[in-house]
Amino acid sequence: MPLPLAINKPLELTFTADDTVALQGDLDATVPAKVWDKLLKRPASASSASIAPSKSLTLDLSGLTVLDLNGAAQLLWLKSIFEKKEMTVSIKDVPENFSPIWDLACRTLAPRAPLPSKDTLIETVGHHFSDFFKDMTALIAFLGEVIANFILLIPHPLKVRWKTTLAITEKAVVNALPVTALVAFLVGLILAFQAAMFMKLFGVDIFVADLVGLSIIRELGTLLTAIVLTGRSGSAFSAELGAMKINQEIDAFLTMGLSPTRDLALPRVIALTLATPLLTILADFAGLLGGNVVMITRGYPVSVFWTELSGHLSTSDLGTGLFKSLVFGFTVAAIGCQRGLATGSGPGAVGEATTKGVVTNIVVLATLDSVFAVLFYVLNW
């Protein structure tokens, strides 16, 4: 580059006497690579030449054309390296115009502060473990807080932010209709198709209707809806509240005497809890439709599918599915909100909170679903 300021005289080292090195050129960030290697490797070569390695080194700066803070830092770095090898380094003939900079650098750079020691493996494991428990405690406490807030508001139903709740219902649930229906339809289709291939061998492919119906209504419709909502709304809640936390909006909320749990989380939780069962019914229907399509291609009239289904499905099947979806809607929204409100600081924090929310939600969904499976089996529902 033909820029006047870029005209630099690359730094050169001249070994004048045994322990004196003259530096010529620009001593700044433009110092070429490997210049210092010559100097750092020198004592080794001196000792290999079986001369007693010199215990002192003098750097002659009189030939410098530029010395800035980066240059001074390099000198200080050299000094610290040589001092570790128990050599003394002296700097001489600092050009007059650079001496304020050199003095400033020497004055400023305090002795190296000790680095924070790294944790041992056991400490790391311990920290993670205790973090996990703190995390879980916070989560459970928050769920309790949401429920408490809800109960407190029951006598004053007008204090619930219904407008916000409705807006959230629309955004989180109504807009999720197409994707939920599509996923459920395809899962029903695939399930029926796979089952039909196998059951055909035994000539019982009429039972595909029952298989699809039971799995969709008791398990899959509910679970699929919950997972779609986790990805679509739970994560959005985490991100929204996380961004508010980062912008200190949550702090502003608190200092105004408002409650983030009551005014931000509760509308979201109510919206999702009430609407998830409705969405689940749609998902169930779409899934059954998928199964029905496969049956039709196998030559069964439409009515056969539904008759077969109604013979083997009871209201308790539908009831368990919907009950679960109510619980799932609650946990998806509450966990999403909690993760958002617990966002740390820094630019990655919102992303981290969102990821954490989704992961926690999926783990909780799977766990709860298994618990319900056992529970319903024992209760014989």
Where on the chain is the footprint of other proteins (CB under 8 A)? Answer: 1-6, 28-34, 36, 68-70, 72-74, 76-78, 80-81, 97-98, 100-101, 104-105, 108-110, 112-113, 115-116, 344-349
Residue 74 vs 325, nearer CB to other proteins? 74
Nearest approach, Cβ of residue 33 and other proteins (Å) = 4
Residue 44 vs 174, nearer CB to other proteins? 44
Nearest approach, Cβ of residue 61 and other proteins (Å) = 15
Residue 94 vs 209, nearer CB to other proteins? 94
Residue 36 vs 253, nearer CB to other proteins? 36
Nearest approach, Cβ of residue 115 and other proteins (Å) = 7
Nearest approach, Cβ of residue 220 and other proteins (Å) = 40
Asked if 69 and 105 touch (Cβ cutoff 8 Å), the reply is yes
Residue 6 vs 158, nearer CB to other proteins? 6
Which 3-state string (H, E, C) describes the chain? CCCHHHCCCCCEEEEEECCEEEEEEEECCCCCCCHHHHHHHHHHHHHHCCCCCCCEEEEEEEEEEEECHHHHHHHHHHHHHHHHCCCEEEEECCCHHHHHHHHHHHHHCCCCCCCCCCCCHHHHHHHHHHHHHHHHHHHHHHHHHHHHHHHHHCCCHHHCCHHHHHHHHHHHCHHHHHHHHHHHHHHHHHHHHHHHHHHHHHCCHHHHHHHHHHHHHHHHHHHHHHHHHHHHHHHHHHHHHHHHHHCCHHHHHHHCCCCHHHHHHHHHHHHHHHHHHHHHHHHHHHHHHHHHHHHHHCCCCHHHHHHHHHHHCCHHHHHHHHHHHHHHHHHHHHHHHHHHHCCCCCCCHHHHHHHHHHHHHHHHHHHHHHHHHHHHHHHCC
Nearest approach, Cβ of residue 85 and other proteins (Å) = 14
Residue 301 vs 351, nearer CB to other proteins? 351
Residue 3 vs 121, nearer CB to other proteins? 3
Between the alpha carbon of residue 24 and those of residues 13, 41, 95, the distances in Å are 6, 19, 12
Nearest approach, Cβ of residue 69 and other proteins (Å) = 6
| Whole-number Å distance between alpha carbons of 96 and 283 | 82
Nearest approach, Cβ of residue 329 and other proteins (Å) = 34
| Whole-number Å distance between alpha carbons of 284 and 213 | 8
Residue 106 vs 254, nearer CB to other proteins? 106
Nearest approach, Cβ of residue 34 and other proteins (Å) = 8
| Whole-number Å distance between alpha carbons of 329 and 183 | 18
Nearest approach, Cβ of residue 352 and other proteins (Å) = 11
Residue 126 vs 351, nearer CB to other proteins? 351
